[in-house]
Structure 1
Amino acid sequence: MRILHYGLGYTPERSGGLVQYVTDLMGEQVKQNHEVAYLFPGRVNIFNSLTKIKKSKMRISGVTSFEIINSLPLAVFGGIKDPEKFQRKVDHSIYNDLLDDFKPDIIHVHSLMGIHKEFFEVATDKKIKIVYTSHDYFGLSPNPTFYFNGKSWDEENDLNFWLNVSQGAIETKKLKLLQLPFYSNIRDIIKKFKKSSFQKEKHYKNMENEAFSLEDRKLFEELIDYYQSIFELITLFHFNSSISKTVFERNLVNPISSYKILSISNSTILGGTKHIKLDMSKVKKITYIGQYAEFKGFTEFLELAQSYIHKNIKFEIYGENIDLVLPANVLNKKRFSSEDKEKIFEGIQLLIIPSKWKETFGFLELEALSYNCPVLVSEHVGSKEFIPHEYVFKVGNLTKYLNELSISNVVTSFSLYLPTFQEHTKNIERMYIKNNG
């Protein structure tokens, strides 16, 4: 099978779970004797704004790379400042030549960031099946998480939301810096001096539509229609959780004709049968891993720690190399390397994932489970489907929930089977071949 993936690129230029998943999947598909190519938004040419596709150097053995020079902007920080620049037209021949060159049987799209509508139109004209994996909500929302001003807006998604969330968006010319060749070399230096996600988060005053210009309202209405028209060209939606399916169904204008719910994985997840045991009487340390950010539930975790300030339980946080003012019983252990991951997880007595945004999936839970680590997750974590419902708490109810577990000294255990990444890749292949609706 000839498979063309579209994603955000490779490490170190890009990072995160989406990038890891795409690159792992492509590598495994090559091992399973598929012909694989990767299309991604590449460099920005500051001297020539013409969009073109260039064959790039091979980063994964057996995977042909195609780089979009001067792609659409990448709204990786959430929000859109210049809606007209996110729907810029290009000549269909750019993508026609690419598809005539590689001749894919399947196109697997992992994000709408950076890619033009013309790509989907050409593929549809050529009757090539387009599979879309719901890694985030970009396109349904200008913010990939749908989280803004302290809540998820997936149930209140209208023009007013798009206008308001744009208040905190980064200027498009600054977004282009992400795609300059030297950016990955200075990114780690920038991170050393940046504020934490928690410190950067701001709440904005919700304004009525009339507070925005007529031009902005018109442009954002056009942008909403632009992305909705792209989603109409998707052949098969691959939802990685029931949460992502629900959010997409609620926010797509037209009904979904074909979909498959299939959890995802990556090459670092240790497959096989796992045995998880939680004995609250023995828990003396509770752990948080992730961005120090409100949408990740970081504030709720700190509120939990504060409520236990006079009890014999310590808390630790991992995630960002910055200093914060924290409750006295919270130790900031900052970022850890992949080499230390096994040691970290084996030392965790209880991991809490208190996400407030409706995570489409969430690899952190699977990583913990793969090391037989007890984990409690909020109802907004897509991968919650792997664990019994008593390990899932309501958003905003973490402290009460843990108090109830502690008072009763709950002892629970369960077993589960995590597919290997090879098994997952086979499931993806079967999904390509058969449309399940």
Structure 2
Amino acid sequence: MNILIVNTLYAPFKVGGAEVSVQLLAEELVSKGDRVRVVCLHDEKFRKQTEINGVEVVYLPLKNLYLPFSNEQKGKLSKVVWHLVDNFNPMMGKSFSRELDDFNPDVVHTNNISGFSVAIWGCVKKRNIKLVHTARDYYLFHHNCTLFQHGENMDVGSAAVQLTSMVKKRKSKNVDRFVGISKYISALHQDNGFAINARHSHIYNPIKKSHVADQSSSVIRIGFIGRLTADKGFKAFCAKALEMTISGEVEFYAAGRFSSSDEGRALQLRAEEAGVHLLGFVPVESFLAQIDMVYLPTLWNEPFGRAVAETAAAGKHVFTSFAGGVAEIAEHYPNVYQLSEFTLEKLRILKNERVEFVDVNPFDAGRLAAGYQEVYKS
């Protein structure tokens, strides 16, 4: 089967978990005998094509004001214009149409489409090609993709969300199969009228188990991994560090990047004042080797929660908010706990308690890729 996968970014470019999940899926499909081509965006002015681990990858220039994945600050007017264009971008539709004609896929599977816009869906249906879409964030609801603003989760029934989702909701009628990366995000889109002609389902993200060589320590080392932002709970992480390091029994470590915004600079200062050890952007195995437990007090409704799944699968005790899709991950791991259980007494008990699993990965890449093959065939 010829499968054309679309995602805003692809290896070697990476912003979040979506890029990891899409790459794992694409490579598993190739290993199962499918021909896979990924179409993504890059910051160069010309089309480029290469091959990564058997996956054909096409990088297209973005037909908009800028590629919004650098730390460079943009003016408010530029941002407004960018999002207006991205609401429905016929220029990207034209570029994408050429890729459809070149590859002639049996099925098109779109994922994160910020930059491409929903214009590409019409190009797929015009050629009578079957269209699968996976919701990995809240882009169809709102351009910020998180449904988190001004320190709180946005109401999907609000006028602001209804207005920004109007065109995308209408164009989602082109989708034949709609897949969420959790039951939560799948139901949220279906209940709010997206892809009304599609069959809705969910397929979790693939997770590779990390083999960690732990570094012993006399203190309890608490870790945070991911984007170092308020919505991910990093502000709350710093507050907890300030509160608990006084005992001398606990140290806090954070792996990830700050944004270049005023908020990012303020959070970095807060972390330094709280005595958090900032590791920067490091491989997950390196991070896991330096910590005993994980504290992820996320504020937004995670569509899935890759950081929770990866750290829990590695045998670390994880304290987190059971919001969004995280509650579904917790069903598979006994070492995932509610934030309310994060006490010094509990940490002392868990410090030397090893987590033992039956050797079964509930988020095995091969099994989940087979699930997508069934979706494509249907």
Q: Give the distance between the partners of 1:155 and 1:69, measured in 2 at CA.
A: 32
**Which position in structure 2 is the counterpart of 1:85?**
85
Matching residue's letter, 1:314: V
**Which position in structure 2 is the counterpart of 1:175?**
none
TM-score by length of structure 1 reads 0.68
Aligned residues: 349
Greater radius of gyration (CA): 1
2:204 corresponds, among 259, 263, 267, to 263
The question of 1:284 aligning with 2:285 is answered no
**Which position in structure 1 is the counterpart of 2:278?**
333
1:402 corresponds, among 310, 318, 342, to 342
- Matched residue of 2:50: which SS? coil
Higher relative contact order (CA 8 A, sep 6+): 1
Matching residue's letter, 2:50: M
Matching residue's letter, 1:240: I
**Which position in structure 1 is the counterpart of 2:247?**
311
Change (3 A) 1:157 1:255: farther
Whether the aligned pair in 1 keeps the contact of 2:253 and 2:291 (CA below 8 Å) is: no
Whether the aligned pair in 2 keeps the contact of 1:298 and 1:354 (CA below 8 Å) is: yes
Change (3 A) 1:129 1:308: same
Q: Give the distance between the partners of 1:406 and 1:317, measured in 2 at CA.
A: 19
- Matched residue of 1:81: which SS? helix
CA RMSD of aligned residues (A): 3.5
The equivalences for 1:171-250 within 5 A come to 221=163, 224-250=165-191
Change (3 A) 1:247 1:72: farther
Q: Give the distance between the partners of 1:415 and 1:427, measured in 2 at CA.
A: 24
The question of 1:59 aligning with 2:51 is answered yes
Pairwise CA distance, 1:368 = 1.2
Matching residue's letter, 1:59: E
2:367 corresponds, among 402, 409, 423, to 423
- Matched residue of 1:295: which SS? coil
**Which position in structure 2 is the counterpart of 1:361?**
304
**Which position in structure 2 is the counterpart of 1:168?**
none
Q: Give the distance between the partners of 2:365 and 2:195, measured in 1 at CA.
A: 33
The equivalences for 1:290-309 within 5 A come to 290-309=226-245
Pairwise CA distance, 1:55 = 5.6
Q: Give the distance between the partners of 1:309 and 1:404, measured in 2 at CA.
A: 10
Q: Give the distance between the partners of 1:350 and 1:72, measured in 2 at CA.
A: 42
Whether the aligned pair in 2 keeps the contact of 1:315 and 1:329 (CA below 8 Å) is: no
The question of 1:432 aligning with 2:376 is answered yes
The question of 1:71 aligning with 2:7 is answered no
**Which position in structure 1 is the counterpart of 2:264?**
none
Matching residue's letter, 1:126: R
The question of 1:30 aligning with 2:22 is answered no
Pairwise CA distance, 1:283 = 8.1
Comparing 345-354 and 10-19, the one that deviates more: 10-19
User: What's the % identity of the aligned pairs?
Assistant: 18
Matching residue's letter, 2:234: F
1:233-254 residue CA offsets vs partner (Å, 9 max, x unmatched): 1111111112212432354456
Change (3 A) 1:334 1:321: farther
Pairwise CA distance, 1:134 = 1.5
**Which position in structure 1 is the counterpart of 2:105?**
104
Matching residue's letter, 1:324: L
**Which position in structure 2 is the counterpart of 1:198?**
none
1:407-436 residue CA offsets vs partner (Å, 9 max, x unmatched): 9958896746314322332222123223xx
Q: Structure 2: which 5+ runs fail to align?
A: 212-217, 259-267
